[in-house]
Homo-oligomer: A and B are copies of this chain.
Amino acid sequence: MTRPCNDSFLRALLREPNEHTPVWLMRQAGRYLPEYCETRKRAGSFLQLCKNPALACEVTLQPLARYDLDAAILFSDILTVPDAMGLGLYFTDGEGPRFERPLREEWAIRDLTAPDPWDHLRYVMDAVAEIRRALHNSVPLIGFSGSPYTLACYMVEGAASSDYRGIKGMLYERPDLLHRILSVTADAVAAYLNAQIESGAQAVMIFDSWGGSLSSVAYREFSLYYMQRILDRLIREKGGERVPSIVFTKGGSLWLEAIADSGCDAIGVDWTIDIGEARRRVGHRVALQGNLDPAVLFASPDTVAAEARKILDSFGPGQTTGHVFNLGHGISQFTPPDNVAALVDAVHQHSRMLRQRSE
């Protein structure tokens, strides 16, 4: 396995020097792109789009055709794993994902088993392999999964929740049951990410969308601990190249030091923390990924570029690595596509300029 032609993303994650700060955007293949909406329409539904490797490959590549992005990310849903566990994922218009059979009964929790990703999640592995072929080693491909706690939120609640009544009631009253769910789910996620790596993913990211809703103590016990268990079991090298890992807990900036100790190569940070401060707190143990407020993309291209430059300046003008530029959360469907071009160009230009200046 050789590194892609543009390996700036992998170099940043591994804290190797690079010529510019790489940039990609969470949910970069998404509804703000008209071509995505068209493919989705053709697929019939979001879930059919995820489960069709050819179409998943098509939408994965769409943002790369438009913008000079430094990484591709597998197009999929974070809830594929619980779906493969038999919970019956479906989507309702405007209400997001739901499960037909949420985990409510003790017997169902005891019966839960980790699915074989090569069997029940074959369509994901096929998509990874197809995307890798289509990329022709131009940029690296990121695989991903939801974190065990985030998946458990949906599995117990049956849908997105505003108060997490079900799962938090369980966390405080029956922690044994929640640990059982998390333990099986961590096994499933580790196998799932490793299968993605075997299929061609060159880096992996764990999305912990809801860990930030926990107390400091509960975060460590119910979210971070299980991400750590996954990281411990990941394939760390493939074909002589390290496969770096990124952990992103939205709302987790209070706990950066603990996350940095988890064994990940990089931490995704949302926009609430100054990235320079984040860097001072974690030092050079890990790389950082982030952290523009996605709402900046509702402004004009000039403002977008100016705000991007502020983040690069804050990270440190003399820094030639350790930073992957991204948003602090997924891109909004209401983003004007031209603003993404302005963002990508500003990151590349300004980061090159900073490197020249510091030489």
Contacts and interface: CB of A to CB of B under 8 A. Distances in A.
Contacts of A272: 212-216, 219, 251, 254
A295 B251 contact: no
B298 A172 contact: yes
A299 B295 CA distance: 37
Given A254-B254, A272-B212, A299 B334 contact: no
Q: Oligomeric state, in number of copies?
A: 2
A298 B217 contact: no
A303 B169 CA distance: 10
A100 interface: no
A311 to B, nearest CB: 9
Q: Interface majority SS on A: helix, strand, loop or mixed? A: helix
A46 interface: no
A43 B264 CA distance: 56
Interface of A: 163-165, 168-169, 171-173, 212-219, 251, 253-254, 271-274, 277, 293-296, 298-300, 303, 307, 310, 332, 334
Given A165-B295, A172-B303, 18 more contacts: A163-B334, A164-B295, A165-B298, A165-B332, A165-B334, A168-B293, A168-B298, A169-B299, A172-B307, A173-B298, A173-B300, A212-B272, A214-B272, A215-B293, A251-B251, A254-B254, A254-B272, A254-B273
